[in-house]
Structure 1
Amino acid sequence: MNPGTTPQIQFNVRAKILIVFLVLSMATLIIMGIAAVITISDIGNSAQESSTTLGTVAVRDSSAALWNGTEQYMIRIATDQADLVDQIFWSTEAELTLLADHARSVENSPAAGSGIRSYPVSVLPPDPMRATVVYIAPGSQVRETDPEYLALAGMDDMLASMYRTDGDLVSVYVATESGILRAYPWEGDLGPSYDPRTRSWFAAAKASDKVAWSEPYVDASGHGLILTSSKSIPTRYGTWVVASDVTVSQLSTYTNLTLGGKGYAVLLDDKGTVISRPGLGAGTGRWDQPFPAENALTASDPGLAAVGSAMVAGRTGVGYVRFNGTQTIVAYAPVRSLNWSYAVSLPAKEVVAPIITTESTIVNAT
């Protein structure tokens, strides 16, 4: 060996062949690795796109299901509440029909004995709950000795019985075409100009052979805004009308379903007049002045007027309207015995809120 000379590595033929195969194998592995990385990246992107698409579809499907479920749930509530209101009014009408039947029986029979005493408006009884008020309208020619006056006294016990049976009533009474009024319980708030024959409930009863229901009006006895059911009875003295009063506030305890304080309930009659809604009251109105009725058919919002028309037509369904600038879902169903309609509403944002929450959850998960 000479100093300063670099040693030369000598490969035999076999080693050279192995080196060639090794280089080729390494190149193949590198190429396969690069291809695998590209393939995995493509699969990842595809999976992400697929996941996003599935998330979007899930949000859309869940939103549609939630809206549909809310509509069906509200229709079911409206239908159930309409049936409840129907039963309440049907019960009142049945009681009034019994009272009318009793009126026919006493027409020819002066009162025998009664546990209820009658007093005029000017005389306060010892216990108003054990007394009726008897009143003769201005201009009436009736005298206390007349057969009709005496016969009508036979209604006192039945008036009291109906009042005590139905805890929702504030007054039960009978009025005659001649100008007599007998009412239970005794109340002394009738003004000297009061004439039952001029009241809407009296005229409505005379014009129908069925039980008539009034629109809301201010009560002459100070009970605020009331509804009156009335029925006429033809007698040999002329027409008698039996009637009972329920306050709008009492009716609202049955109709004002608020869906956890977020909803709003409305009762319409067959002409679209609002019979009951939250906040409806007499205000400063007087009994001898017309009460300004609200009517859904004349609403300025076309959507609300359309829903009102559907309700008056006796349909069951769902509509979308704006209440005080808020988009609102309204479900309605008929009160069949009266051809009235009940509706319950819910702000749309109360439905949208869980949709937004669901969408955020799905998006975050994808």
Structure 2
Amino acid sequence: MFRNMKISLKILLVILIMSLGSLVVVFSASYYFMNSMVDEFQQTNITLGINSSEVTKASLMSQTEYYLLQLIQKQANNANKELHEVNRAVTEASKYTQHLFETQDNLIGHDMPRPDETEMGVASSKYFLAKGVEATPEVMKEVYTLSYCEYMFAPTLEQNPILDNIYIGTISGISYRYSRSNAFNPDYDPRQRDWYKAAISHPDHLVWLPTYLDSYGKICITAAMTYRDADGHIAGVVASDVRLTSIIDEVMNLKIGETGSTLILDSDLNFIAHPDMDKEGFNPDLSSHFTGSDFIKKIHSSDDSIIQTVYEEKDCYVAFSKMAETGWIFCASIETDEVTAPAFEAKAQNDKLTAASQRNMQDQIFNILRLFMIFFSIMGITVVMTSFAVTGTITRPIQRLASSVLKIGKGEFNEKIPVLSGDEVGQLADRFNTMQDDLKNYMQNIKKVTAEKERIGTELSVATNIQAHMLPTVFPPYPDRPEIDIYASMNPAKEVGGDFYDFFFADETHFAMVIADVSGKGVPAALFMVITKTLIKDHVQQMKGKTLSEVLTEVNNQLCENNEEEMFATCWIGIIDITTGKGVASNAGHEHPVLRRAGGEFELVVYKHTLALATLPGVKFREHEFEMHPGDTLFVYTDGVPEATNINNELYGTDRMLESLNRDKDLPLENILKNLKADVDAFVGEADQFDDLTMLAMKYNGPK
């Protein structure tokens, strides 16, 4: 009866005899409640940390918005005050000049020197007459009247350092100037100048002209206003040039955190100042610097505001304030990540404190559990001594089962395990007998699967050979064409890869080079590679007057058709006229090429990419013209070179690549590429290669 009893009942009988049931319940309940307490404490701290972080983040954002807006409003107000002073000075100069002409019958005046009769750098009055204007008594009377302007213009210029000069153009063609410069143009006629025409179009009102660069390259603006004679007729225009250097420098030199910057726009949203304005390739279109139209809409609808938007491809806060005097817009920005960083740091610190508290509570629980275990061990010894008498009935069947299982493990699948009892051990023996039959079937299946894998391996080997023979592998490929030397290599990460290179003559004088990287690896990438390579070569050889951009557009559209797997390929292609060295290239999302001028170093050639092939139909691809001189070398490659990774997860990078190329720059092309491959392998070491590694180099020797 006892022999046929289930093992669970035998163990339960022993536990009941020793009255251990209550101990297990107490132990389990205590452990459960203590762990629940720790979990609840941890969850509460996490919730508090998150709430605190959100409150801190909101507070930081609010403070930043207030500070940024106040800062840029202050700058706009300061600039407005300075230009308002200019407004006042020019207006007063106009009124003074008008008063002189209203009372000119009571004035005597005197003649004044011509510009070339004055000393350069010393402020003084000078005048000259426009071409065709004769010094009649009426004209000279105006000149004598204008000689009184110096008494008002001199202190005005001295009190307003921002003013560069004050000058007058009359209806009669007189040009008067109070300035430090003695330069003049004999063909100069003030009546034909923009400042004169603008003021005449708005009589009795001060007008501001658009900004411009003076002869010293400094940005300036002109203020102008008409004046009248004793009969109330417009007699001329008073104007002054204002150098904006101090205003712009004060705004552009503002320090706003680590990522902040400023810019100034005129009333037509044209750039007056920008941190990158003097850099080559700067785009003057405002919309190219702001993603979306929310910022521009906000400018049109408000004079002072702050908005969260994407500026220079970064999520930023941008505050702006308009000048009442000129309508210019002063802007200040700071990246959102910099604003919210302290909140995230505070949350991280709170998480550390929470983790430390949790560890302390777990240590206390461990001490309590240790006391339980000591007591439980004492009771366990008693249980073991009591149950020793019944262990034989449990262990002997298990030992027999173990002996039979050992034979099965050695391959004796015909060995049957005797079933001597009806308990769990007997059921286990029966299950092992069933498993024995399953193992026989499994071994037979393994043999079939192994044979199938060997067949697939053979087919992959054939595919690798086919792919290798699709790429040009004979070097030199054109021994009868001394204009060029070329060498290329491709090392796939798997049996078959997605990279490829190609080169061929499109006609007698135009040589084409292609290198590409297909997304993915293995057979699918190889198939897509074959299609891409074939389409590119066919379309280039049949260009017939088409541009390289049009060729890539046609290839791209064909690749997009039925591309259900959504594969794509980055590609660099260049076509060079070997008689002139001039060529054109296009980069579809590929790595930047490297160029070495004769006697120079290999250097990266960086320019804007277009989207990769097969990403979107109808894409127009950028073209870039280039010119190679005899002795120049071009090197192109796939991302397997710079993105090769060692066991420390470090990238090989373009700096190491250029260093390796320049180390062997005077060797033959084949040696340069092999040495670079060896350098990459040495860097990678024992790390697995996850990407294909493909390179192509071409040296231009010049025409025959």
State the shift of 1:331 in Å.
0.1
C-alpha separation in 1, matches of 2:217 and 2:23:
96
C-alpha separation in 2, matches of 1:351 and 1:359:
14
Name the residue aligned to 1:345: 333
The range that moved more, 198-207 or 152-161, is: 198-207
Name the residue aligned to 1:135: 128
State the shift of 1:294 in Å.
5.2
C-alpha separation in 2, matches of 1:34 and 1:72:
57
Map 1:93-108 onto structure 2 (within 5 A): 93-107=87-101, 108=103
What per-residue deviation string (whole Å, max 9, x for no partner) do you get for residues 12-36 of structure 1?
A: xxxxxxxxxxx99x99788556533
What per-residue deviation string (whole Å, max 9, x for no partner) do you get for residues 102-134 of structure 1?
A: 0111114276579xx943222233x74341232
Amino acid at match of 2:165: S
Name the residue aligned to 2:210: 215
Name the residue aligned to 1:255: 251
| Aligned partners of 2:168 and 2:177 also within 8 Å | yes
Over 3 Å counting, the alpha-carbon distance change for 1:119 and 1:250 in structure 2 is: farther
Over 3 Å counting, the alpha-carbon distance change for 1:197 and 1:270 in structure 2 is: same
Name the residue aligned to 2:346: 358
C-alpha separation in 2, matches of 1:358 and 1:151:
73
Name the residue aligned to 2:318: 330
SS at match of 2:66: helix
Name the residue aligned to 2:165: 171
C-alpha separation in 2, matches of 1:44 and 1:262:
42
Amino acid at match of 1:242: V
C-alpha separation in 2, matches of 1:204 and 1:174:
14
Name the residue aligned to 1:200: 194
Over 3 Å counting, the alpha-carbon distance change for 1:120 and 1:81 in structure 2 is: same
SS at match of 2:116: coil
State the shift of 1:196 in Å.
2.6
Name the residue aligned to 1:86: 80
Amino acid at match of 1:197: R
Amino acid at match of 1:364: K
1:62 to 56, 64, 67: 56
C-alpha separation in 2, matches of 1:29 and 1:147:
123
State the shift of 1:43 in Å.
0.8
State the shift of 1:347 in Å.
3.1
C-alpha separation in 1, matches of 2:293 and 2:257:
26
Name the residue aligned to 2:449: none
State the shift of 1:262 in Å.
4.4
Q: How many pairs does the alignment contain?
A: 328
SS at match of 2:172: coil
| Aligned partners of 2:210 and 2:221 also within 8 Å | yes
1:317 to 305, 309, 313: 305
SS at match of 1:271: coil
| Aligned partners of 2:199 and 2:225 also within 8 Å | yes
SS at match of 1:241: strand
Over 3 Å counting, the alpha-carbon distance change for 1:313 and 1:242 in structure 2 is: farther
C-alpha separation in 1, matches of 2:346 and 2:136:
76
SS at match of 1:169: coil
Over alpha carbons, which structure has the higher Rg?
A: 2
Cα RMSD, aligned residues only: 3.4
Over 3 Å counting, the alpha-carbon distance change for 1:112 and 1:148 in structure 2 is: closer
2:32 to 28, 33, 38: 38
Bigger relative contact order (CA 8 A; separation at least 6): 1
* Structure 2: 5+ residue stretches without partners: 1-17, 355-704
Over 3 Å counting, the alpha-carbon distance change for 1:31 and 1:325 in structure 2 is: closer
C-alpha separation in 2, matches of 1:268 and 1:321:
17
Amino acid at match of 1:138: K
What per-residue deviation string (whole Å, max 9, x for no partner) do you get for residues 213-253 of structure 1?
A: 1111133x646321111111133574321122222323213
| Aligned partners of 2:53 and 2:344 also within 8 Å | no
Q: Does 1:109 align with 2:109?
A: no
C-alpha separation in 1, matches of 2:351 and 2:200:
67
What per-residue deviation string (whole Å, max 9, x for no partner) do you get for residues 262-295 of structure 1?
A: 43333333332334445668x9xxxxxxxxx957
SS at match of 2:225: strand
C-alpha separation in 1, matches of 2:342 and 2:234:
64
* Structure 1: 5+ residue stretches without partners: 1-22, 284-292
Amino acid at match of 1:328: C
Amino acid at match of 1:272: L
The range that moved more, 30-39 or 98-107, is: 30-39
C-alpha separation in 1, matches of 2:100 and 2:334:
51
C-alpha separation in 1, matches of 2:37 and 2:258:
51
| Aligned partners of 2:291 and 2:310 also within 8 Å | yes
SS at match of 1:246: strand
C-alpha separation in 2, matches of 1:163 and 1:358:
55
The range that moved more, 35-44 or 266-275, is: 266-275
C-alpha separation in 2, matches of 1:273 and 1:266:
11
Amino acid at match of 1:87: K
